[in-house]
A and B are shown apart, each in its own frame.
Chain A
Amino acid sequence: MRRRDFLKAGGAGLVGSTVFSISGLTMLSPGNANAATVSFNLTAEGTYKTLVDGVSVYVWQFIDTNSTGPGALTSGLVVKEGDAVSVTVNNNLDRNIRFSIPGVSMSSTRTISPGSSRTYSFTAPAAGSYLYTDNVNGELSRAMGLAGPMVVMTTNGSNNLYSGGPVFDRQYTLFMSELDDRLNAAVQAGGSYNMANYEPNYYFANGLSYPDTKSNSDTLIAMSVGEDVAIRFINGGAITYPMHFHGYHVNVASRNRIIEKNVIEKDTVQVERGECVDVILPVAQAGTYPLHTHYVPGVSANGVYAKGGLVLMSAA
């Protein structure tokens, strides 16, 4: 499966096949009780990102040589609950970092000095959506782009959001982030920057801004009337994202893997900083509709509308 197909597989793909390959990882067929041993290799790197308006900006990224991330993200982890996971991180940045997944206990909490590598091991936790990042440099890391999505599927690879949880026909992951180009310039120049002054002016879903989101299969949400589509919002930025669905109400299933007890249909779902919110979208009508942050400045590139955090949902 190509990297572009990160987490938009339908039920047939996950349940029907005996061996399922996603993100360079072999997932065992349902009924096989043996947890897999999986490994990833990430490099924390300073690199340049060309934005939707053609501007090139210095960013930090976790880069997987297998390019496993959805959309324009350079890394993304997909595992199954119970898998033995090891992530080797190479640090090519100019400062210490530490690989961290909030909610997951790691084999090591040691930092990685510039030019070194370290392997972090953990047992894949309960099925759900997670954020991985560096936790040495605080919000600066997320503002600079040093973060990514991890999706944990159920033990048997079923199409449940979590064990015994809601069933979906398809799933998409939307990793929301943004940047303030003044911060990136300051970091690139080796200067300091106070996060209290952070005012982003570019916004992304899976690293892409509209209209580029239209031409990427990870950010053009294709679906069919009658299906239940899982959408995993992973807030990898340093602002909140009130995500508004045109055309549909959705059911909020969980926030940071905590099951939402007050089941409610929402058309706008607030996703806090660092939060992972899984929703089920019952596709009630055909058509093409936007899904975007209602912090509407977030639907712009340096103030130019609509080149920001907006994706289209298209139901046949």
Chain B
Amino acid sequence: MFNKFQEIYIMSAHRGGGGGTATPPPTTTGGRAFTFLRAPTTVTAQMNGSAALADGASISTWYFSNGGGFNGDRTVPSPVIEANQGEQVAITLSSMMPHTIHLHGLDVDQQNDGVPATSFEVTGSYTYRFTATHAGTFMYHCHVDTNKHMEMGMFGTIIIRPSNGSTTQAWDNGSVFDKEYLWQLTTHDSTWHSGMGGGGSNLARYRPDYFMINGKDGANTITDSATAITASAGQKVLVRIVGTSYMPGIIRMGSLPFEVIASDGRPLVQPYITTEQMCAAGERYDILLTMPSSGQYTGGIEYRNIRNTDALGTVTTTITVA
């Protein structure tokens, strides 16, 4: 039965060619510190990227681009995609090689789940469709040979806005905020990024040596305006924590307390205030930071081994009261 689905959709994918919906350039509006694509949109799977690391090294990356060829955004993580609660969302994947988009946490139907074994791979183009039932923070990533493809960088964040499209409220009648940041956990094992191989025993053991937020490490994280938090005293800052690394991380905002208001695209029944929050692989946490009266703080992520005892590496950035 599943093979039947596969046949039908791959045929339609080929009919779709490589084009899809024209995608406007990403924009930054409202309190967002990041650029985004508004669904319906198209992303293109690419396997020719590179990431500049703080130590001067460069590693090859794969990613979803917001445009064809070399014209689009070639960074890891892949573009942020947004839609509103209640919408029928369409995201077109264009790809010359077999890839998929798994819509992580959006509870889509089987055909749109993006898993080769239960859905199908896409070569050409396919438009993933789902109804956005809950406002919140979600992920997307390639689910072909996932161990390799996701680690290479084929992941991004999907944000579902409230029904009215508000960019200052987390969900319908939910928490309000002034500014909004996205911290996507990112780690790379640089040995996994050499060559174009799909898998095998060289991927048997994951030993990350670069520890990042939003694809930037070291000094690059501290100066990255999409990551380093700047807001006025008393402003409420929403930080969406996205567990896109294979390793868990402990999130800290310096010593500043913050309120955890949602996880995995659902509001918490009992929000809580803490100074650190563990985010495991695949999880998301929405946290609300009320800026103190003054000062600059050093926040960041301490990555932990899945053995969960030792810190693997730490990445820091600044939290500044403007």
Tell me the bound Cα distance from A183 to B270 in angstroms: 43
A38 at the A/B interface (Cβ < 8 Å)?
no
Given A287-B110, A294-B246, A303-B147, A242:B308 Cβ within 8 A:
no
Q: Which B276-322 residues have a C-beta within 8 angstroms of A?
A: 278, 280-283, 306-308
Q: Is the interface of B mostly helix, strand, loop or mixed?
A: loop
Are B280 and A265 in touch, CB under 8 angstroms?
no
**Chain A positions within 8 Å of B107 at CB level:** 247-249, 267, 284-285
B interface footprint on A255-284 (CB within 8 Å = 1, 0 otherwise): 000000111111110101100000000001
Q: Does B87 contact A (CB under 8 A)?
A: no
Contacts of B247 in A (CB 8 A): 295
Known pairs A247-B113, A264-B268, A270-B248; A201 contacts B306 (CB<8 A): no
Q: Once bound together, how far apart are the Cα atoms of A62 and B230, in whole Å?
A: 56
Pair B201/A242 contact, Cβ less than 8 Å: no
- A288, CB-defined interface residue at 8 Å: yes
- The minimal Cβ–Cβ distance linking A145 to chain B, given in whole angstroms, is 17
Measured in the bound complex, the distance between the Cα atoms of B246 and A199 in whole Å is: 14
- Contacts A268-B280, A287-B110, A297-B205 given; indicate if A244 touches B104 (C-beta within 8 A): yes
Cβ contact of B146, chosen from A240, A306, A312, cutoff 8 A = A306
User: Size class of B's contact patch?
Assistant: 35 or more
Query: B146 and A299: CB pair below 8 A?
Result: yes
A173 in contact (CB, < 8 A) = no
Chain A neighbourhood of B207, CB < 8 A: 199
Contact among A244, A299, A303 for B204, CB-based, below 8 A: A303
Cβ contacts A16-33/B at 8 Å (1 or 0 each): 000000000000000000
Q: Which of A238, A262, A263, A268 has the most CB of B within 10 A?
A: A268
If A289-B110, A297-B147 touch, whether A242 touches B283 (CB-CB below 8 Å) is: yes
Q: Given the known A-B contacts A249-B266, A266-B264, A303-B203, are A296 and B151 also in contact in the complex, defined by CB atoms under 8 Å?
A: yes
Say yes or no: A262 contacts B268, CB within 8 Å.
Answer: yes
Contact, CB under 8 Å: B308 / A272: yes
Q: How far is B151's CA from A199's CA once the two chains are assembled, in angstroms?
A: 18
CA distance A239 to B205 in the complex (A): 13
| Inter-chain contacts of B202 with A (CB < 8 A) | 303
A2 at the interface (CB under 8 A from B): no
* A196 nearest CB across to chain B (Å): 8
Flag if A242 contacts B282 (CB, 8 Å).
yes
Is A154 part of the contact surface with B, judged by Cβ < 8 Å?
Answer: no
Does chain B have a CB within 8 A of A209?
no
- Name the residue in B145, B201, B264, B278 with the highest tally of chain A Cβ atoms < 10 Å from its Cβ: B264
Q: Chain A: how many interface residues by the 8 Å CB criterion? A: 43
Q: Contact between B281 and A295 (Cβ–Cβ < 8 Å)?
A: yes
The complex places the Cα of A20 from the Cα of B49 at a distance, in Å, of 60
Could you tell me the distance between the alpha carbons of A267 and B264 in the complex, rounded to whole angstroms?
A: 6
Q: 1/0 contact trace for B1-41 toward A, CB 8 Å?
A: 01000000000000000000000000000000000000000
Contact between chains at B203 and A297 (CB < 8 Å): yes
| Assembled-state Cα–Cα distance A247/B110 (Å) | 7
Q: Chain A residues near B2 (CB, 8 Å)? A: 288
Contacts of B209 in A (CB 8 A): none
B236: Cβ under 8 A from any A Cβ? no
Check B204–A201 contact: CB distance below 8 A: yes
0 or 1 for each of A287-311: is its CB under 8 Å from B? (1 = yes): 1111001111101101111100000
Query: CB distance A288 to B118 under 8 Å?
Result: yes
Measured CB to CB, the closest approach of chain B to A209, in angstroms, equals: 14
Asked if A263 contacts B269 (CB within 8 A), the reply is yes
Query: Quick check: B243 and A312 within 8 Å, CB to CB?
Result: no
A residues adjacent to B (C-beta < 8 A): 198-199, 201, 211, 238-240, 242, 244, 246-249, 261-268, 270, 272-273, 284-285, 287-290, 293-297, 299-300, 302-306, 312
- The contact sample of 11 A-B pairs, CB cut-off 8 A, is A198-B307, A264-B268, A265-B266, A266-B264, A267-B104, A268-B105, A270-B283, A289-B110, A289-B115, A297-B204, A303-B200
A198-B307, A268-B243 known; 8 other A-B pairs, CB under 8 Å?
Answer: A242-B281, A244-B104, A244-B282, A267-B104, A267-B265, A268-B280, A287-B110, A294-B282
Q: What residues of chain B have their CB less than 8 Å away from a CB belonging to chain A? A: 2, 102, 104-105, 107-110, 113, 115, 117-118, 145-148, 150-151, 199-207, 243, 246-248, 263-266, 268-270, 272, 278, 280-283, 306-308
